[in-house]
């Protein structure tokens, strides 16, 4: 006892008093830690700098002004191989932002869709989406990118045989489809008062589907089989073949009474419906007319990427834009007004639908008004003997106008130009996206959508089922339950991890280098290889990604703050 006390005292005497104060110790510890960290970093920097100086590589940023000397396949017009490294960097940044912004939106939409499918009451859809999610989550994104690029994109056809949408051809819109639609609306309205599983209702609906199926089959055969040419509209009720058909139908209808009760309405409906359909066809009552429509390709998909129609503003675009802006402003004002009405009086007004409708109407009216302005009848053409005035139609027919002038003498505010190829298959008109861009976008979007789907599923499942039952109990519709009760609560759980996925997508876009898409990482790697400025290059890349990550976090934090529960 005594000796231990003495020990204690001796130790106390050796360590001065102020060093036994925890506050002093903490500060001292931190200073030592700081010194170690700083010394370590300084050591790193000095060793690296020495090493690089020995290799004639002093890190600096002035090299960015040097001539780049390499082409970038995916670049705006202003970039050439004579541009500077800084320009190459700019192109890389533009491309990264292009892919990330498109990717974020698309991945969110797809992810939410798959997330809802994961919760579907339909077993097949649930299973398919589960398999989709599991396969995508458990294989590396890099492998998926390789698959999209080297397997999917490379197996697309050459531009001359491009897959087109719609494919060129003639579409016949049958008059029958319209009649079916009318008939369906009529039948379902007249059965409205019956419960959904009432036998009569089931019978009529089955009959309707059976009749239309039989007629469509018969018309298909009539158009494609020579033997059926005489059947449509023959109307000879005494013919042996018809009597045989009627007899079989009678047996079927009679037989339907012996089918077990739950299936009886279906059997009866099907048997009677097919007879009615057959009669309508045989008697020629159902019309065989169709609207002929010629379809021309708008989207081309080939090994060179995807090409969309070009949308160009004409000289009248500004006038139309004024109408659109007016529509947006008016719609916004109306929306705010109706919201106030709803909040003060409790009257429910579908304000969003009205606002959208107003916008569309104003834009359409503007389009008509702008388009109705007459075009000049004659246009000035500068030829060898000064300016002459040529009638517009003639100038257009003889191809005297430059593309810019053509846009000036168009009555519509926007023109849609279908993609056009030259003889070598290169697209000279159209908005193009390279196969690298498509592969990267598809890879990123589909990979991220699997994770977003899981987040959405978890978020919706986190809303207690009592909430949904309560919403139903107070009489909200399915859509109102989803938009007013489930989503606001689910979003609270969804948004934080969703932000993480957005960050992942942005960072994963750097895998572009694997398939040589010219994003910031790929271009900077080329710049680094050419100039030898690897340290500076890496610093630039890191700063860019840090800024992008921080911006996304910042936006997501604001969004998150808006959706969190407001408490005291």
Partner 1 sequence: MTTIHNKQINAVNYEEPQTKSPPLLSVGPLAWIKNNLFGSLMDTILTVVGAIVIVSAVTAFFTWALAGANWFVIIFNMRQFLIGRFEPWAEWRVQLLALLVIAVLGWAVGAWSRISRGVFIFLLVITALLFVLPPVIRAVVPLSPSFVSAGETAIAYGSVAQQPLAQLGFIGREGEVITLRVAREYSQNDRALANSFSFVDSPLNTLRNAAENRLTIEARIPEIERLLAGDALTPNQRALLTADLERLEVPPPVTETYHLNEFPAQVRLLDGATMEPISEALLSGESEPLSVTLPRDGWYVLEKTVPDNPEAVTLIAAEGIYPMLERSFTRSASIGPDGETIAAGRVTQYIRMTDIFLVEGGRPRIEGTDVPFENIVENQYRGARPLHDYLSLYLAPFFQQINTGFLWLLIAGIIGYWGARLTDKYFSPVEKPRLRSQRIAFWLFIALPPVAFILVAGFGILPPTSPPLWGGLLLTMLLTVVGIVVSFPLGVALALGRRSSLPVVKGASIAYIELVRGVPLITVLLMAMVLVPFVAPWLGGPDTGPYRAMVAVTLFSAAYLAENVRGGLQSLPPGQEEAAKALGLSAWQATLFITLPQALRAVIPALVGQFISLFKDTSLVTIVGLMDLTDVAQTVVNQNEFLGLRREAFVFISIVYFVFSYVMAMVSRRIEESGSGAARRI
Provide the minimum distance between the beta carbon of 325 and partner 1 in the complex, in angstroms, as a whole number: 38
CB 67 within 8 A of CB 82: yes
Question: Using the rule CB under 8 A, is 220 a contact of partner 1?
Answer: no
Question: Using the rule CB under 8 A, is 550 a contact of partner 1?
Answer: yes
SS3 for 551? helix
CA 150 from centre of chain: 23
Provide the minimum distance between the beta carbon of 202 and partner 1 in the complex, in angstroms, as a whole number: 12
- Choosing from 138, 345, 353, 382, the residue that interacts with partner 1 (CB under 8 A) is 138
Question: Using the rule CB under 8 A, is 557 a contact of partner 1?
Answer: no
Q: Which stretch binds partner 1 (CB under 8 A): 67-75, 337-345, 424-432, 511-519?
A: 511-519
Distance CA 365, CA 371 (A): 10
CB 495 within 8 A of CB 564: no
CB 481 within 8 A of CB 470: no
- Choosing from 21, 71, 134, 394, the residue that interacts with partner 1 (CB under 8 A) is 134
SS3 for 497? helix
One character per residue 26-45, x = contact with partner 1 (rule: CB under 8 A): x--xxx-xx--x------x-
- Choosing from 2, 15, 124, 474, the residue that interacts with partner 1 (CB under 8 A) is 124
Provide the minimum distance between the beta carbon of 265 and partner 1 in the complex, in angstroms, as a whole number: 12
Instruction: Give the helix/strand (H/E) hosting 411.
Output: none
How open is the CA angle 236-240-245, to the nearest 5 degrees? 90
Distance CA 299, CA 306 (A): 7
Looking only at the bridges linking them, the beta strands covering 420-421 and 427-429 are antiparallel
Provide the minimum distance between the beta carbon of 374 and partner 1 in the complex, in angstroms, as a whole number: 31
SS3 for 169? strand
CB nearer to partner 1: pick between 260 and 386 = 260
Question: Using the rule CB under 8 A, is 147 a contact of partner 1?
Answer: yes
Cα-trace Rg, the chain = 35
CB nearer to partner 1: pick between 151 and 325 = 151
CB nearer to partner 1: pick between 117 and 320 = 117
Nearest C-alpha neighbor of 229 from the set 219, 215, 240: 219
End-to-end, the C-alpha distance of the chain in Å comes to 57
Distance CA 37, CA 43 (A): 10
- Choosing from 12, 122, 158, 422, the residue that interacts with partner 1 (CB under 8 A) is 122
Cα–Cα distance list, 241 to 122, 236, 237, 275, 406 (Å): 44, 10, 9, 14, 63
Question: Using the rule CB under 8 A, is 461 a contact of partner 1?
Answer: no
One character per residue 9-28, x = contact with partner 1 (rule: CB under 8 A): -----------------x--
Instruction: Scan residues 294-333 and list those touching partner 1 (CB under 8 A).
Output: 294-296
How open is the CA angle 191-193-199, to the nearest 5 degrees? 60
Provide the minimum distance between the beta carbon of 233 and partner 1 in the complex, in angstroms, as a whole number: 20
- Choosing from 249, 510, 531, 560, the residue that interacts with partner 1 (CB under 8 A) is 510
- Choosing from 508, 523, 526, 536, the residue that interacts with partner 1 (CB under 8 A) is 508
Kindly determine how many residues on this chain lie close enough to bind partner 1 according to the rule CB under 8 A: 63
Provide the minimum distance between the beta carbon of 537 and partner 1 in the complex, in angstroms, as a whole number: 9
Judge residue 252's burial from the number of C-beta atoms within 10 Å of its C-beta, 0-12 exposed, 13-18 middle, 19 or more buried.
middle
Question: Using the rule CB under 8 A, is 113 a contact of partner 1?
Answer: no
Phi, psi of 251 (to 5 degrees): -60, -40
Question: Using the rule CB under 8 A, is 65 a contact of partner 1?
Answer: no
- Choosing from 110, 119, 142, 312, the residue that interacts with partner 1 (CB under 8 A) is 142
Question: Using the rule CB under 8 A, is 236 a contact of partner 1?
Answer: no
Distance CA 328, CA 362 (A): 9
Judge residue 383's burial from the number of C-beta atoms within 10 Å of its C-beta, 0-12 exposed, 13-18 middle, 19 or more buried.
exposed
Q: Which stretch binds partner 1 (CB under 8 A): 115-123, 304-312, 348-356, 400-408?
A: 115-123
SS3 for 351? helix
Task: Write out the two tokens for 418.
Answer: 């279908």
Provide the minimum distance between the beta carbon of 55 and partner 1 in the complex, in angstroms, as a whole number: 9
Say whether the peptide bond before residue 166 is cis (omega within 30 degrees of 0): yes
CB 557 within 8 A of CB 564: no
- Choosing from 137, 340, 398, 426, the residue that interacts with partner 1 (CB under 8 A) is 137
Question: Using the rule CB under 8 A, is 51 a contact of partner 1?
Answer: yes
Dihedral sign for Cα 413, 414, 420, 422, please: positive
Provide the minimum distance between the beta carbon of 115 and partner 1 in the complex, in angstroms, as a whole number: 15
Question: Using the rule CB under 8 A, is 376 a contact of partner 1?
Answer: no
Question: Using the rule CB under 8 A, is 94 a contact of partner 1?
Answer: no
- Choosing from 187, 328, 507, 516, the residue that interacts with partner 1 (CB under 8 A) is 507
Residues near partner 1 (CB under 8 A) are: 26, 29-31, 33-34, 37, 44, 47-48, 51-52, 120-125, 128, 134-135, 137-143, 146-147, 150-151, 168-170, 172, 260-263, 292, 294-296, 503, 507-508, 510-511, 513-514, 521, 525, 528, 534-535, 538, 541-542, 545-546, 549-550
């Amino acid at each position: 006892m005594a000796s231990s006390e003495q020990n204690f005292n001796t130790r106390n005497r050796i360590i001065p008093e102020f060093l036994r104060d925890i506050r002093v110790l903490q500060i001292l510890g931190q200073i030592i830690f700081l010194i170690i960290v700083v010394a370590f970093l300084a050591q790193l920097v000095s060793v690296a700098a020495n090493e690089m100086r020995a290799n004639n590589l002093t890190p600096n940023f002035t090299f960015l002004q040097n001539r780049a000397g390499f082409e970038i396949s995916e670049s705006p017009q202003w970039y050439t191989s004579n541009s500077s490294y800084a320009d190459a960097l700019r192109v890389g940044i533009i491309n990264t932002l292009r892919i990330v912004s498109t990717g974020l939106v698309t991945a969110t939409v797809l992810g939410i869709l798959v997330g809802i499918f994961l919760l579907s009451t339909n077993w097949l859809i649930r299973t398919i989406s589960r398999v989709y999610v599991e396969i995508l989550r458990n294989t590396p994104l890099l492998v998926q990118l390789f698959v999209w690029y080297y397997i999917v994109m490379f197996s697309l056809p050459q531009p001359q045989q491009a897959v087109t949408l719609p494919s060129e051809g003639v579409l016949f819109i049958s008059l029958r489809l319209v009649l079916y639609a009318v008939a369906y609306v009529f039948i379902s309205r007249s059965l409205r008062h019956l419960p959904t599983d009432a036998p009569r209702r089931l019978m009529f609906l089955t009959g309707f589907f059976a009749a239309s199926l039989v007629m469509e089959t018969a018309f298909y055969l009539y158009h494609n089989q020579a033997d059926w040419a005489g059947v449509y509209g023959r109307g000879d009720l005494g013919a042996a073949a018809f009597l045989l058909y009627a007899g079989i139908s009678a047996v079927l209808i009679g037989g339907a009474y012996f089918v077990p009760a739950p299936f009886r309405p279906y059997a009866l409906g099907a048997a009677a419906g097919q007879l009615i359909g057959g009669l309508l066809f045989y008697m020629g009552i159902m019309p065989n007319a169709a609207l002929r429509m010629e379809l021309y390709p708008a989207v081309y998909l080939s090994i060179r990427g995807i090409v969309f129609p070009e949308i160009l503003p004409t000289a009248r675009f500004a006038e139309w834009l004024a109408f659109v802006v007016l529509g947006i402003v008016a719609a916004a004002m109306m929306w705010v007004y109706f919201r106030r009405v709803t909040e003060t009086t409790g009257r429910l007004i579908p304000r969003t639908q009205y606002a959208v409708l107003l916008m569309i109407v104003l834009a359409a009216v503007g389009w008509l008004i702008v388009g109705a302005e007459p075009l000049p009848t004659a246009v000035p053409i500068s030829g060898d003997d000064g300016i002459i005035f040529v009638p517009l139609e003639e100038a257009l027919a003889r191809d005297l106008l430059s593309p810019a002038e053509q846009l000036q003498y168009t009555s519509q505010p926007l023109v849609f130009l279908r993609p056009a190829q030259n003889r070598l298959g290169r697209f000279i008109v159209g908005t193009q996206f390279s196969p690298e861009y498509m592969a990267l976008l598809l890879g990123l979007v589909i990979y991220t959508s699997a994770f977003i789907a899981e987040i959405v599923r978890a978020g919706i499942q986190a809303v207690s089922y009592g909430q949904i039952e309560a919403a139903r109990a107070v009489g909200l519709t399915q859509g109102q339950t989803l938009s007013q009760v489930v989503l606001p609560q689910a979003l609270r759980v969804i948004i934080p991890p969703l932000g993480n996925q957005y960050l992942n997508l942005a960072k994963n876009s750097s895998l572009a280098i694997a398939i040589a898409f010219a994003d910031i990482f790929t271009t900077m790697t080329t710049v680094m290889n050419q100039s030898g400025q690897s340290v500076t290059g890496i610093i630039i890349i890191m700063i860019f990604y840090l800024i992008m990550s921080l911006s996304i976090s910042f936006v997501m934090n604001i969004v998150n703050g808006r959706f969190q529960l407001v408490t005291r």
